[in-house]
Amino acid sequence: MPLDALTLSEELIRCPSVTPTEGGALDLLQQRLEGLGFTCTRLVFTQDGTPDVDNLYARLGTAQPNFCFAGHTDVVPPGDPADWASDPFKPEIRDGRLYGRGASDMKCAIAAMVAGTDAFLADNGAPTGSISFLITGDEEGPSVNGTKKVLGWMEEQGEKIDACLVGEPTNVTVLGDMVKIGRRGSLNCTVTVRGTQGHVAYPHLARNPIHLAAPALAALAAEVWDEGNAFFPPTSFQISNIHSGTGATNVVPGELEALINFRFSTESTVEGLQQRVCDLLDAHGLEYELHWTVSGLPFLTEPGALLDGVSAAIRQVTGRETQPSTSGGTSDGRFIATMGTQVVELGPVNATIHQVNECIKADDLDLLTDIYQVTLERLLT
């Protein structure tokens, strides 16, 4: 019997795979993929006391090109189940929509990938090249022991991915209206500005870091970091948190801590942004300390075989012309692109991701399955 994307979606939603818990989701996928002839490898990683993360790499065939479906079975916590119209881990169809945590982000996409692969093999036999799956349980968490570690293992094994389709929910209104061909980079920094603590009645004996930092933070917020380009909007800067003070009304604080974030295009570099922040802070005469973390570098898949194949599949199945975009947050595509791999993201409509009563149109599952099947046919036959 052919695999049914709706049935597999419901089975995956029943798995309580809140990051980093596997919850049975990867066990289920391994069983289904082995039934299609895939060789499956489970990879469990941990680091610096972080919880173990279970990952799955499966491959059918040994030749190149290797076309990879990538995604994650881990989901964000559902919050209070009482806020949901139905149990978040008991899938339910109401008014033509499938409800459950992970329905949109992104268990249904993975189910459609497996069902589309099953249909491809039934209609075409063995692919010209290979089909693989890279499924992690660490995308919604710190992303330390998931896809990034699997890619390191793959490099050691001599495994190469030529083209990758990530099943992130990319569409805005209807299925097929948008694909992601890249993502902005994400650069974070904790800025600590030093002052001198004192009594508010004797300000001449203190140095208020809030007063000192305010003009510098305003200058950072007003700065034009770049103009973007044909594929990316201009780099954005946001202050996401500011903390200072002891809670007392009569104490000048000794330091201020601010969290800042850049979402940056390929027109800027990590090193360039870091230097410009230092220059602005220095210009305001601040005593400061910076702690930087890079969540991901920007990547871009320019028009070519992969984007053409995915776009043609969307057109064939839905009749729609898709819009390539680099908007949104980060995804595991940022890690896969570092291998020199073409990466395109296409999944369900993203209107309810991470929300109470997360859902997907049930009919979209068949369409998404067909799009994935046609993509394989265009690239591997």
* Given 139, 162, 168, 358, the catalytic residue: 139
Per-residue 3-state assignment (H helix, E strand, C coil) for 10-31: HHHHCCCCECCCCCCHHHHHHH
> Which residue of the set 10, 22, 54, 74 is catalytic?
74
DSSP string, 141-153: TTSSSSHHHHHHH
Angle (CA) 372 101 135, round 5°:
45
Active site residue 139: yes
Q: How many helices (H) and strands (E) does the chain have?
A: 9, 19
Residues 6 or more apart in contact with residue 359 via CB below 8 angstroms: 97, 98, 99, 100, 103, 104, 352
Tokens of 249: 């009304």
Secondary structure (DSSP) of 213-271: HHHHHHHHHH-------SSSPPPEEEEEEEEE--S-TTEE-SEEEEEEEEEE-TTS-HH
Q: DSSP 3-state assignment of 124? A: helix
Q: Return the active site residues.
A: 74, 139
